[in-house]
């Protein structure tokens, strides 16, 4: 017996990197205890990137492969593309009828994002962007999900989905919607190889699909203690990106490496080599799973089709109850 329902989603905006692994590993685990649904939310991607959609289909495919490579199992959890389950859009529309605009305007990320993206010359003061958290609430509530594993940046959105559930239940005198709970994954703060925030747009990320060669190239780029010129100079691990990574990914060797770095007994080249090996061993099984799916385009197609079909079935049940509650289920 499952403990409840989980929904989570990601916008298909490009390759995922190893900083995303803690979130995804959490999803993989949740599959055992919960009935999970995982959506590649392409409509959400349109809210900020409606002007350039040329990479959308590639990004969707890449995200699907990334997800499968970490071990999301389509036999346990439907994996689907949001735009293929139109029920989400009807629920979004019906929610929009009963929601005060002020609730949406006061979501903290709303004005902030308009400002941030405005600085980059992007005008996203659109109707669709205002409704971003309404669409997100529809994604969650249409499966009557109890748990939503997300990052901290999404907490205000989950709070809104709870308010929507309460308002709906109150207005239409029903207990149709449970109030979803956010579940935060323990996220180790992982810097990019240059010390800035890890992001594919800075090209300082290590993609989860990286080859052995790419891994070692990225590790070469990592910034070490600048005062260390010769291998025999004592190093300062506290200011070294490689050490930050050894700490997270190489627990069994980190103490020894640390001592030898401080005493000048291991050089940066050797230290980087050991990190590259550990990262490569970590990503190897993911690469193997990825190539299994890459070689089977029909299987990929089936996974996403079947996922949408299963999602539609569940979503359709909720939607019919919503229509009935709001008296928009036709009786003549």
**Residue 231: CB minimum distance to ligand TRP, A:** 43
Query: Which among 132, 153, 141, 133 has a CA at the least distance from the CA of 37?
Result: 141
Residue number, 41 or 241, with CB nearest to ligand TRP: 41
According to CB under 6 A, which one of 5, 6, 11, 318 is a site residue for ligand TRP? Answer: 11
Determine, following the binding rule CB under 6 A, whether residue 286 of this chain makes contact with ligand TRP: no
- By CB under 6 A, the count of residues binding ligand TRP is 13
Binding mask 95-134 for ligand TRP (x = CB under 6 A): ----------------------------------------
Q: Is 311 in the site for ligand TRP (CB under 6 A)?
A: no
Interface positions, 154-173, toward ligand TRP (CB under 6 A): 154
**Residue 150 found at the interface with ligand TRP (CB under 6 A):** yes
- Closest separation between CB of residue 115 and ligand TRP, Å? 17
DSSP codes, 229-278: -STTSPP-GGG-HHHHHHHHH-TTTHHHHHHHHHTT-S-HHHHHHHHHHH
d(CA 252, CA 255): 8
Q: Where are the alpha helices (DSSP H) in the chain?
A: 21-33, 42-49, 56-70, 87-97, 101-105, 108-119, 127-130, 132-141, 155-171, 212-220, 241-249, 254-262, 268-294, 297-326
CB 4, CB 35: distance < 8 Å: yes
Structure token digits, residue 226? 């600048």
- Our CB check for ligand TRP shows the closer of 33 and 288 to be 33
| Beta strand pairing call for 35-40 and 79-81 | parallel
Choosing from 18, 63, 107, 136, the residue that interacts with ligand TRP (CB under 6 A) is 136
For ligand TRP, give the closer residue by CB, 148 or 308.
148
| Binding-site ranges for ligand TRP (CB under 6 A) | 7-11, 41, 44, 136, 139-140, 148, 150, 154
């Amino acid at each position: 017996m499952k403990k409840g329902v989980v929904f989570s989603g990601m916008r298909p905006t490009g390759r995922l990197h190893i900083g995303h692994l803690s979130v995804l590993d959490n999803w993989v685990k949740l599959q055992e205890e919960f009935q999970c649904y995982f959506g590649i939310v392409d409509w959400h991607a349109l809210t900020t990137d409606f002007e350039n959609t040329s990479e959308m289909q590639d990004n969707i495919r890449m995200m699907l492969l990334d997800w499968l490579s970490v071990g999301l199992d389509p036999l346990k959890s439907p994996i689907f593309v949001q735009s293929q389950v139109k029920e989400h859009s009807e629920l979004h529309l019906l929610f929009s009828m009963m929601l005060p605009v002020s609730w949406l305007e006061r979501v903290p990320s709303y004005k902030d994002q308009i400002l941030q993206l405005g600085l980059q010359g992007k005008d996203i003061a659109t109707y669709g962007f205002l409704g971003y958290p309404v669409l997100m609430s529809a994604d969650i509530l249409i499966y009557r999900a109890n748990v939503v594993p997300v990052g901290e940046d999404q907490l205000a959105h989950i709070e809104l989905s709870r308010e929507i559930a309460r308002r709906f239940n109150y207005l239409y005198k029903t207990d149709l919607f449970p109030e979803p709970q956010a579940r935060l994954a323990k996220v180790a703060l992982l810097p990019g190889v240059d010390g800035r925030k890890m992001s594919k747009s800075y090209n300082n990320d290590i993609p989860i699909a990286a080859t052995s060669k790419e891994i070692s190239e990225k590790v070469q780029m990592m910034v070490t203690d600048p005062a260390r010129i010769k291998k025999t100079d004592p190093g300062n691990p506290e200011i070294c990106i490689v050490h930050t990574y050894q700490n997270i990914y190489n627990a069994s060797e980190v103490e020894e490496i640390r001592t030898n770095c401080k005493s000048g007994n291991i050089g940066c080249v050797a230290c980087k080599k050991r990190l590259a090996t550990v990262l490569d061993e970590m990503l190897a099984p993911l690469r193997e799973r990825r190539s299994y799916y890459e070689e089977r385009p029909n299987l990929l197609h089936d996974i996403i089709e079947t996922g949408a079909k299963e999602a539609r079935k569940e979503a359709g049940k909720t939607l019919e109850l919503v229509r009935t509650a709001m008296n928009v289920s036709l009786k003549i």
